[in-house]
Amino acid sequence: MILGYVSCLPETKLMAKFVEELKNERLMGTRCRKCGAKYLPPRAHCKCGSADVEWFEASRQGKILTYTSVGFPPQSMSKHKSYIVAIAELQDGSKLLAQLTGVSLKMLRVGMPVQVVSRPVSTDKIVYELKPMDVMEI
């Protein structure tokens, strides 16, 4: 399965594992065994140069750092009309850019609690999305 609404890259071993876990609602990052740096999204190599990285399960809860509504999509996204793109800061400090659904632009605020959920968009594609936290869960 391919990650994203559109993709122009081959699926590697790292992506296969990431996507497989995503199907089971697990958001996986990588951690460097040498220097301890954590990466979400995951990387096969650390910025310190080490290739000795291990998987860890990242937090799926956080808050909105910033957002926008894309009213003029690129050609590859033209069938999606307008959509909201946001950056969330998760509880473990990692940041993720994704589309945000389940809330109108009017209701959106910086700092709003959100969660990361998995959503298959077609038989061959899956994405992670940000959704407002259920009031009960806050």
Partner 1 sequence: MTEKVGIVGIGHAKFGKRTDVTLRELAHEAVTPALVDAEINVKDIDASVIGVTSEEFAAQVSPAILVHDYVGIGNKPVFRVEAACATGSAAVRAGWSLVKSGLADVVLVVGVETMTHLGTPEATEVIARAGDTRWEYPFGATFPSYYALMAIAHMHKYGTTREQLSMVSVKNHMYGAMNPYAHIQKTITLEETMKSAMICHPLNLYDCCLISDGAAAVILASEEKAKRFSDTPVWLVGLGAASDTMMISERENLTELKATKTAAERAYRMAGITSSDVDVAVVHDCFTIAEIMAYEDLGFCKKGEGGKFIEEKQSYIGGKTPINVDGGLKSKGHPLGATGVSMTVEITKQLRDEAGKRQVKGAEIGLSHNVGEAGQYCFVHVYSR
- The interface region with partner 1, picked from 20-28, 52-60, 78-86, 112-120 by CB under 8 A, is 78-86
Q: Output the smallest distance, CB 99 to partner 1, in A.
A: 5
Alpha helices in 46-136 (DSSP H): none
Decide which of Zn ion, partner 1, none touches 48; Cβ closer than 5 to 8 Å per partner kind: Zn ion
One residue of 83, 102, 118, 131 binding partner 1 per CB under 8 A: 83
Q: 25 or 52: whose CB is closer to Zn ion?
A: 52
Decide which of Zn ion, partner 1, none touches 34; Cβ closer than 5 to 8 Å per partner kind: Zn ion
Structure tokens at 118: 């998995």
| CA nearest to 54, candidates 19, 29, 35 | 29
Residue appearing with tokens 């999204």: 41
Q: 24 or 104: whose CB is closer to partner 1?
A: 104
- Residue 64, Cβ density class (10 Å: 0-12 exposed, 13-18 middle, ≥19 buried): buried
One residue of 1, 37, 77, 117 binding partner 1 per CB under 8 A: 77
Chain Cα centroid distance, residue 44: 17
Residue appearing with tokens 């589309």: 99
Interface residue list for Zn ion (CB under 5 A): 32, 34-35, 37, 46, 48, 50
- Look at strands 113-122 and 61-70 and give their pairing: antiparallel
Binding site for partner 1 (CB under 8 A): 3-9, 15, 41, 65-78, 80, 83, 85-87, 95-99, 105, 110, 127
